[in-house]
Structure 1
Amino acid sequence: MPRIVFMGAGSVEFTKNLLSDLLSMEFADSATIVLHDIDAERLETATAMARWMVDKLGRGTRIESRTDRRAAVEGSDYVINEIAVGGFNATKTDFDVPARFGVRQTIADTLGIGGIFRALRTIPVMVALGHDLAELAPSSMLINYTNPMSMIPRAVYEGSPFKRVVGVCHSVRDTQARLAGLVGLPVEEVAFQTAGVNHQAFVLRFEHRGENLYRRLDEVIEADPELRRTVRVAVYQAFGHFPTESSEHGSEYLPWFLHRDDQIAEHRIPVGVYLEWSQENLDTYDEAKRALAAGEGVEIEPTSELASEIIHSIETGTPRVLHANLRNGGLITNLPADACVEVPCLVDRAGVQPTRIGDMPAQLAALNRNFLNVGELTLRAALEGRRDHVYHAAMLDPNTAATLSLTEIRQLVDAMIEAHGDLLPAGIR
């Protein structure tokens, strides 16, 4: 009878989607769902929503609510993580301070100066969670959604005794559906192999009944001038394989786009768009709170969230193949063994079983290693309290390095540390 914990349950839209999935599954009546958030008001709203959904669907699911993390995770079978340390205000800082130095970002949660500081805020919390799980629920599985995905699961398995952590992200699934649509085929008829680093994985195999569909994709791109004005297509044409991240997000992991006005215009890159999305999330929360108080409830619609699919496959034995992020350990042989990589995995009662890819094409592995270098230094900075490694990570970050001098990068890092203050590890601030 699974005990499933939602970390960061005050993110009500995410919680609603997960609940819509889990409450539709055959084990729902015997499950316990524990909602945890450090924001008591948001937790109260999420709890009211969960209980309304259980009543609406007539399920026997038990809902618990905890502000204390240790009480929440004790005895858990699954812990689903979607925390945002510092909330909207910290996210705004990640944009506002770099903007003063001329550093432009779009999402700022995966790489770049924003991704570095999001990781520095989050890693101590996740390492502490790993220690809690090792003590209180050693057989549990931690399923992480929080970015930066290449850093957070690795922080848990390197910084704590707890090793049963996987990361999930929609980018591969969405990219595969997008590519199938572009060449006019149902996605279930296309053979894909996709691997790399989260948000910078690549479609290595793209076939239909033995036909290499990249040739057909080239024809589609040649016929569509608007499609050619995207970062994803520019990266595909430069590196020979299609990337899994959206154009707006992918632009900030590379040195060629955001510091140039002509490239922003050519590729229609929406600078700062994540702040708009974050404000929309705040509005969504306010509307959900109002609707619940008025007795109107929320829309219940299963969304096939990856965490719920993993839990379903393990609990029922239903086999699925999906992409997960976990310790490399030789899965991709020309990337570092300790890195967190994204590969296809079989999931069934035996758990999450990754596919060995072997060598990536040399140019893709080289690009991934650039990406991973920033994460390696950020992780070392957080785990060892090394302020100098924060400078090093920012100096090696492609977008930051393409925009600022070494002196300016140090000044930006100092300004970010001052702005985030107590949210950062003690050895850094």
Structure 2
Amino acid sequence: MSFKIAIIGAGSVGFTKKLFTDILCVPEFKGIEFALTDVSEHNLQMIKAILDRIVEANKLPTTVTATTDRRKALEGARYVISCVRVGGLEAYADDIRIPLKYGIDQCVGDTICAGGILYGQRNIPVILDFCKDIREVAETDAKFLNYANPMAMNTWAAIEYGKVDTVGLCHGVQHGAEQIAEVLGAKSPRELDYVCSGINHQTWFIELRLNGREIGKDELVAAFEAHPVYSRQEKLRIDVLKRFGVYSTESNGHLSEYLPWYRKRPDEITRWIDMSDWIHGETGGYLRYSTETRNWFETEYPQFLEAASKPIDPSKRSNEHASHILEALETNRVYRGHFNVKNDGVITNLPQDAIVESPGFVDRFGINMAAGITLPEACAATCISSINVQRMSVHAAISGDIDLLKLAVLHDPLVGAVSTPEEVWQMVDEMVVAQAAWLPQFAHAVPAAKERLSKSRVKTREWAGAAWRSVRSIEELRAEKAALKQAG
């Protein structure tokens, strides 16, 4: 087969390498073309060197090109994959730092909550630029695979306003299923059959069967509470399981910032999180992890380049959806997964315009979703709270309406549990001013926001959150990796 895949944000080096090797595990795809594009020429050249090394080591006819000219990369592409982070770590730091001044403690801050909403404001104008290029220069009916957060907002904008065939992809469902299979004693995750449905990062395992046997709430609670690691790391998720009756896909730390109950008081935060790894609830944990990962890659790049000389092992193909979707579309080998699409009847008790994450099947006819799923009422209620915020956030990003943006942030469940309207209004002004370089749609609102900030009497505080950790040095990371290798 011969076709072209464009990867936007290809400077996300580790993830791009994973997608690349996954796709080349499909025998029919050996001779395709990958076009890499990113705003960073430096990152592009690093990832191109790694991918070239993989192609050379495996004696493949695969073509890899790299350019900062996005439109050139998209010319003739049949598939476009996005893994962009608009504003990079600089803007992301403000997503975490500024809300902390107003008492809002986020672990990740990239989906909803104050940080996720502003992240969406930065991403959506760029997503629409991608869609314009796809419509104009890519293959007719090219498919846009969005991996970038905030998943629902980006996918909503691409479908509703970008008018491009778009699917949102995430790995939260697979990771949750692996946990469940482990606590139930399965020899392989493939022994677990499940239906998982909801919205991205608030998806719920509403049906579970292990080797054909139905698994109920009580058995699952007991299995998690008996697990020597998850019983400590996933305290919040287990509590939600007990109260809702179903397990959430999302990590302990991420889930804590989507709900208004567990992360609104500093003394309560430490009760529900675990500090053994950032993902279990650490304040700004993903920001720290991302910063350390970037620093580590820059320093240890020669090792990454050397590792690229190893043969591709199809048995190590990951469970990221992209390669499996492309394989199904191109070869008609059917693939079942969980995809982010416009609702349109997929989930009966969520708004029809929402972006939902739910089971579907892929073959040469496209992505075909299982329709008519009904969520438990508590799960639907939680999802609807976030959907309403997502809808307002998308509309604010499209219109540049700063008042609508403030209302979206005000209605976020965790923000509303922590902050007053006056605090929210000032916080949004401060975030828009700080991130003005990446928010062209709000350029007209920045002068007035600066004026309001100069006269504001709303008090803020210098606070690092309930569970902050500093970024570790390269030496500290090396020592930790060496200790883990010795112990393992």
When the two structures are superposed, what TM-score results if normalisation uses the length of structure 1?
0.95
Q: Structure 1 residue 349: deviation in Å? A: 1.6
CA deviation digits over 1:199-234, x for unaligned, max 9? 001011012324334332132245469727611111
- Say whether residues 1:62 and 2:66 are aligned partners: no
Aligned twin of 2:95:
94
Aligned twin of 2:179:
178
Pairwise CA RMSD: 1.9
Identity percentage over the alignment? 33
Correspondence list, 1:285-364, <5 A:
285-287=297-299, 289-291=301-303, 297=308, 302-364=317-379
Partner of 2:290: helix, strand, or coil?
helix
Correspondence list, 1:124-135, <5 A:
124-135=125-136
Is the CA contact (8 Å cut-off) linking 1:85 and 1:121 kept in structure 2? Answer: yes
CA deviation digits over 1:359-386, x for unaligned, max 9? 2222211110001111111001011111
Q: Structure 1 residue 288: deviation in Å? A: 5.5
Aligned twin of 2:122:
121
- Say whether residues 1:387 and 2:390 are aligned partners: no
CA distance, structure 2, for counterparts of residue 61 and residue 221 of structure 1: 45
State the AA in 1 paired with 2:434: A
Is the CA contact (8 Å cut-off) linking 1:288 and 1:298 kept in structure 2? Answer: no
CA distance, structure 2, for counterparts of residue 283 and residue 213 of structure 1: 44
Is the CA contact (8 Å cut-off) linking 1:291 and 1:298 kept in structure 2? Answer: no
Is the CA contact (8 Å cut-off) linking 2:171 and 2:319 kept in structure 1? Answer: no
Aligned twin of 1:26:
27
State the AA in 2 paired with 1:259: K
CA distance, structure 2, for counterparts of residue 305 and residue 358 of structure 1: 24
CA distance, structure 1, for counterparts of residue 304 and residue 194 of structure 2: 42
Is the CA contact (8 Å cut-off) linking 2:41 and 2:67 kept in structure 1? Answer: no
Is the CA contact (8 Å cut-off) linking 1:206 and 1:214 kept in structure 2? Answer: no
Is the CA contact (8 Å cut-off) linking 2:9 and 2:85 kept in structure 1? Answer: yes
CA distance, structure 1, for counterparts of residue 354 and residue 284 of structure 2: 29
Q: 1:284 to 1:141 in 2, by over 3 A?
A: farther
State the AA in 1 paired with 2:265: R
Q: Structure 1 residue 419: deviation in Å? A: 0.5
Is the CA contact (8 Å cut-off) linking 1:144 and 1:166 kept in structure 2? Answer: yes
Aligned twin of 2:247:
242
Moved over 6 A (4+): none
When the two structures are superposed, what TM-score results if normalisation uses the length of structure 2?
0.84
CA distance, structure 1, for counterparts of residue 372 and residue 244 of structure 2: 18
Aligned twin of 1:148:
150
Aligned twin of 2:231:
227
Aligned twin of 1:161:
163
- Say whether residues 1:271 and 2:283 are aligned partners: yes
Which of these residues, 258, 267, 279, is aligned with residue 262 of structure 1? 267
CA distance, structure 2, for counterparts of residue 296 and residue 271 of structure 1: 33
Partner of 2:6: helix, strand, or coil?
strand
Q: 1:24 to 1:358 in 2, by over 3 A?
A: closer
Is the CA contact (8 Å cut-off) linking 1:183 and 1:213 kept in structure 2? Answer: no
CA deviation digits over 1:123-182, x for unaligned, max 9? 0000111111122223211111101111111101111222x1001111001111111111
Aligned twin of 1:194:
196
CA distance, structure 2, for counterparts of residue 68 and residue 224 of structure 1: 50
Aligned twin of 1:407:
422
Q: Structure 1 residue 74: deviation in Å? A: 1.5
Q: How many residues align?
A: 427
Partner of 2:414: helix, strand, or coil?
helix
State the AA in 2 paired with 1:148: P
Is the CA contact (8 Å cut-off) linking 1:7 and 1:80 kept in structure 2? Answer: yes
Is the CA contact (8 Å cut-off) linking 1:79 and 1:142 kept in structure 2? Answer: yes
Partner of 2:64: helix, strand, or coil?
strand
Aligned twin of 1:203:
205
CA distance, structure 2, for counterparts of residue 130 and residue 222 of structure 1: 46
- Say whether residues 1:252 and 2:257 are aligned partners: yes
Aligned twin of 1:103:
104
Aligned twin of 1:212:
215
